[in-house]
Amino acid sequence: MSKLIELAIGGNELTGTIPDTLGQLTKVQWLGLNDNKLQGSIHVNFCHLVNMYHLDLGNNHLSRQLPTCLENLTSLRELNLSYNSLTFTIPSTMWTNKEIQIMDLSNNLFNGSLAPEIGSMKGMRELYLSRNQFSGEIPSTIGKLQSLENLTLSDNRLHGPIPESLGDLISLQYLDLSKNNLYGEIPRSLEKLKELVYFNVSFNELSGEIPNGGPFKNLTADFFVGNSKLCGSSQYEVMPCKGNATSSSIKTRTLKYILPSIALVIILAIILVYLMRRRNRNTLLPAKSTSPITIKRISYYEVLNATNNFDEENLIGIGSIGKVYKGVFSDGMIAAIKVFNLDLEGANKSFDTECHILCNIRHLNLVKVITSCSNLDLKALVLEYMPNGNLNKWLSSSNYFLNIVQRVEIMIDVASALEYLHHGLPSPIVHCDLKPSNILLDEDMVAHVADFGIAKLFTEDQRISLTMTLGTIGYMAPVENNVRAEESCFRSIMGLALECTANLPEERLAVKDVLKRLKKIKTEFC
């Protein structure tokens, strides 16, 4: 096999360590061992594969440190080591390959700081370093990678300011810096990035004014949440910057009593709006991914063990297309496992639709897919476990109670998710089956929209018609002193619901306007 050029044996159940003898395949150019159960370290013999163009070891159980001699692989253009347990710092010599184009080291245990030598990889187009334990500051030399299109550094321990030099990444389209400890202001230099369509700095410690020029004109509030010191345009749902703010009084009285059906009314109103807008739409295109997420699949036996052979005691829900079980995996992770009934017509299509959509969208109020299982015997999605169940339980049972503040917050959560699906993606997504049983509540009573089995994707032309709404300012609650706050809040919500159910489409509110009105109601009365 010394003359072997390509070896692709990914997606099997291979176990054990990678044989040292692979280092003898000195002519190999393409090596794929991904999606197996290989363990141990990456042996130094890999450094002998000097002709290798593509190396994929992703989705295994590899551990320990990377060999420093990987710098010898000067022909390497594509490297995937994601979803392993590789540790220690990345050798600085790894960053000296000027021709490598794609490097995915995400979902490992790498630590330490990013070396300044990272700026040497002039040919880099895609660099994925998310979900590790990197610390220190983002090196300013990264601004030298002018061919870079995708950069993810999310879910690490990075701190310090965002380098001004990122504004030199003229080809950058996707930048994710979320869930770190970054502080300081967002550099104005990023306004120069004409190709940038995704920029996420949520859940950091940033401050100052959010830029509003260039690509920032098309960004939504979701990309800036979790930074309490940011200020700027109302488009980002942050506080106004000093000097631009107008004084406003905020009522803080907590409302405690209202009819249980209010939350259901507003949710049904939103459903009606978009069910009616679905009419006369016929051409559907696949949605563009807004995030290069890779889902690591699990085996049938892992699902079987997690649910204790699908024990009825673990059954937490039954739907039209299958069942949902509570699962506990070997590593202690608790999840909801949605098992599709393959005997039902449309089950396979529903699985494919839901898997495709959930793997390509990210929002705080959408249920998160953790992994999946797909084979001839079983199709299942492993989702975030929501300990407080679904909204229907809280609305229909006398054993559960939601106060008015919780109800309004749930409405805002659902409307935020819908606004993202309809206005925050290149191709809008319409859920098509939104109901209380598909709205799940986590341990903090934050709502998450679930079940995308029959969701619809819209083209750019359809997007225009979807958002052409000329809603009028409807009934607002009276502010006379003799009107109780509960009654005022009730009237505001019911007035909003009536506007959502107007006969003519042009008279109905768009979901982004519904979201703004709900937040205003919460501010005034809650």
Helices 404-423, 511-525: inter-axial angle, 10-degree rounding:
160
Of 352, 433, 442, 513, catalytic: 433
Single-letter amino acid, residue 114 = L
Buried-state track 148-185, b at ≥16 Cβ within 10 A, e below 16:
bbbbbbbbbebbeebbebbbbbeebbbbbbbbbebbee
Evaluate whether 246 touches 240 at the Cβ level (below 8 Å): yes
CA atoms within 13 A on the CB side of 153: 24
**Which residue is associated with the tokens 């969701």?**
455
DSSP code of residue 255? P
In 3D space, the residue among 185, 189, 238 whose CA is nearest the CA of residue 208 turns out to be 185
Question: 485: which residues sit within 8 A by CB, 6+ positions away?
Answer: 251, 253, 255, 525
Q: How much of the chain is in helix, strand and coil states, percent to nearest 5?
A: 30, 20, 50
433 catalytic residue (yes or no): yes
Structure tokens at 446: 């934050």
Strand, helix or coil for residue 157:
strand
Answer yes or no: are the C-beta atoms of 206 and 229 closer than 8 Å.
yes
- Cα(224)–Cα(205) distance, integer angstroms: 10
Three-class SS of 433-466: CCCHHHEEECCCCCEEECCCCCCEECCHHHHHHH
Q: What are the b/e assignments for 237-255, b being 16+ CB within 10 Å?
A: bbeeeeeeeeeeeeeeeeb
Burial letters 115-139, b for 16+ CB under 10 A, else e: beebbbbeebbbbbbbbbebbeebb
Q: Decide if 78 contacts 97 (C-beta within 8 A).
A: no
CB count, 10 Å around CB of 98?
11
Tell me the β-bridge partners of 86: 64
Instruction: Give the DSSP per-residue string, 281-313.
Output: -----PPPPSS---PPP--HHHHHHHTTTT-GG
Strands (E), 40-115: 54-56, 63-64, 78-80, 85-86, 102-104, 111-112
Catalogue the active-site residues: 433
